[in-house]
A = this chain, B = another copy of it.
Amino acid sequence: MTDRLLSPTELEAALRAIGAERYHNLHPFHRALHDGKLTKGQVQAWALNRYYYQASIPAKDATLLARLPTAELRREWRRRLIDHDGTEPGTGGVARWLKLTDGLGLDRAYVESLEGLLPGTRFAVEAYVHFVRERSILEAIASSLTELFSPTIISERVSGMLRNYPFITEETLAYFAPRLTQAPQDSAFALAYVKEHARTVAEQQAVLGALKFKCGVLWSMLDALDYAYVTPARIPPGAFRPAEGEA
């Protein structure tokens, strides 16, 4: 990365270049997932582990909400909580993710217990929550910018999974459709915020570092899944083991 002050447009270009190199749509596990190369047990492992990420997003957003200085910023960030936690039981992104784990035949109490989680998933997700709690507001907002790249991965994932897996239906993928409109709204706000507020070289470098960090969170979650369940499977002690027929 350069060490000179970037214009807002150059900063955006530098952020997009990080996504082009580090976003997890490039990870072999993602490609295997949407290409139909995984067994049902492997897809279960993905959904079970990713559940912890989904369930932690409102905690991450609430942590940031508690630190934001103006009503305007808090209103904007509160919308994310509504998207994920819903307005009544059974609504919102986390509940929709559980439709996916239900549809894959996983016991809901087991999923919610987090007992079968890979340690690598746990540590990556908690690193994200800690980052948002401990870093500057600018970095915390910048770390959400992976959503700039998510509409592409969601489209690939939904169409690929529907086409390639008999055990996947439109209904089990209910999580993803609202994200196609929510994510661009969220990322447009966050991008405008960092372009306006990252005014020194140090702030711009911090913003770029935050996005790299977050790409590392998502990437390392897929590393852990691929290592444990795919190439060759090396499930760590205590983690989820697919049933015999679904391995």
Contacts and interface: CB of A to CB of B under 8 A. Distances in A.
Contacts of A212: 238
A100 interface: no
A68 interface: no
Does more than half of chain A's interface fall in helix, strand or loop, or is it mixed? Answer: helix
A223 B239 CA distance: 13
When all copies of this chain in the complex are counted, the total is 2
A130 interface: yes
A227 B220 CA distance: 10
A216 B215 CA distance: 22
Given A224-B223, A231-B232, A217 B21 contact: no
Contacts of A220: 118-120, 123, 224, 236
A124 B130 contact: no
A143 to B, nearest CB: 13
Contacts of A234: 28, 223, 226
A122 interface: yes
A94 B122 CA distance: 27
A130 B217 CA distance: 17
B127 A22 contact: no
